[in-house]
Amino acid sequence: MKKSLTLGVTLTALTAGLAHAEQLTVFGPWLGPDQANVEAVLSAFAAKSGLDVRYVGSDSFEQQIVVDAEAGSAPNVAVFPQPGLASDMASRGFLTPLEDGTADWIRDNYAAGQSWIDLGTYAGKDGADHLYGFFYKVDVKSLVWYVPENFEDAGYDIPTTMEELKALTEQIAADGETPWCIGLGSGGATGWPATDWVEDLMLRTQPPEVYDDWVSNAMPFDDPRVIAAIEDFGWFARNDAYVAGGAGAVASTDFRDSPKGLFSAPPQCYMHRQASFIPAFFPEGTEVGADADFFYFPAYAGKDLGNPVLGAGTVWAITNDSPGAHALIKYLQTPEANEIWMARGGFLTPHKGVDTSKFSDAPTAKMNDILLGATTFRFDGSDLMPGGVGAGSFWTGMVDYAGGKPAAEVAKEIQDSWDALK
């Protein structure tokens, strides 16, 4: 017997008339442990809806979903790792708008709700904007990692504003120590860590609308406001006294090795700005929350731009319309759908109605508090730019800048590369 779930409209009502054997297909990028996690969520939905829900994961999701859509064999629901591809598919008529009222629900129930509406709204084949994407499972990038014991021994306090963070940087250097470890190396992707710095600093120096215009190139890359954000990154990265190994080591240090300086004795650095995944590259046995911890990469108190958070996340969209597909999006709005994955680990959510005691560990709950405290959320900008820019000239330009090239010259070259794509 189908169980109902009250969400304004019950899942029973949404799936009325469907046989229990009705199959709902979900296609996404997750394999391994994350596949098991999403299948646990979908299993709970299947039990409530009576639908036969099948998940398929692929490490070639971005290519395969386009092939399937063009062939008319798309899954009911697709899980996009970033909104750019979802936007492209919406413009080709391959996505179905979400139900009326979904935007209102997001606005009321997600922290920085309008940000998530904006990120899921795209122009359809008709040229009109519709809400196509629902964000579920988010990552946070606006974090600074440190070793609590090192801070305690040195008498340093956690900064709560960008002004305090810069003052702490100066204080550590004045004490004869090195404030930061920064590494841009990443094989063929060298340079990407610097793009995250610049994106975070754009959100801390300019309103979110300016960030959006920059990401879409409605505002040129060599606009003075972008150049200023690059130079703000340079305040940290191009000062020999502020970076482990000196400024010349920033571009050549692999990002996976750069946090190790936090754990050396004596410490080679005191802080490392990186996303939520970086503990995977900490020394074996490091316990987050004890041996290492993090704080929010703070905003400028003097700029009145709130608490912006940079991150990423998966966007769920309907690629083969059916009542069950809409019912699944409804289910993802429930605290239960979030709490199942929260308890299994590796999950953050902007949902303000979840029971945060259900998180698998205290550090993840603390990280989620940063997400819930966001007044603005913006997706990693380089991921939204054309590949030749976001995963090309922007990366290499930041390496050039770290090596001493003027920010204005770097920004002009990146803009030239964008113009060449038009």
Class at the top of the CATH hierarchy for domain 143-307+384-421 = alpha beta
145/272 Cα distance (integer angstroms):
5
168/258 Cα distance (integer angstroms):
20
pLDDT in tens, 150-163: 999 999 999 999 99
What mean pLDDT comes out for the span 182-190?
A: 96
The residues, any chain, with a CB within 8 Å of residue 104's CB and separated by 6 or more, are none
Cβ atoms of 272 and 141 within 8 Å: the answer is no
Predicted confidence at residue 69, as pLDDT, reads 98
What mean pLDDT comes out for the span 87-103?
A: 97
What mean pLDDT comes out for the span 190-219?
A: 97
What mean pLDDT comes out for the span 319-334?
A: 97
Domain boundaries, the chain: 11-132+311-374, 143-307+384-421
Is there a shared CATH topology between the 11-132+311-374 domain and the 143-307+384-421 domain?
yes
Cβ atoms of 276 and 361 within 8 Å: the answer is no
What CATH code would you report for 11-132+311-374? 3.40.190.10
pLDDT in tens, 42-71: 999 999 999 999 999 999 999 999 999 999
Cβ atoms of 81 and 62 within 8 Å: the answer is yes
Predicted confidence at residue 22, as pLDDT, reads 80
Predicted confidence at residue 4, as pLDDT, reads 31
The token pair that represents 241 in the structure block: 């006294």
